[in-house]
Structure 1
Amino acid sequence: MQFIEFKKEHFTHDEEKNNYFLEISKTEIDPENIKVQKKEDDQLSDDLDYEIADHPTRVRVILKEPEDIRVNF
Structure 2
Amino acid sequence: MDVAFLYYSSPLSLCVDKIDIRTLPGLEEAVALVAVEADWVYAPPQAVSHFGSGGGYIHTMPYASRVFGLPRAHALRHTTR
Q: Tell me which interval the TM-score lies in, with the shorter structure as reference length.
A: under 0.3
* Greater strand share, structure number: 1
Q: TM-score, normalised by structure 1?
A: 0.25
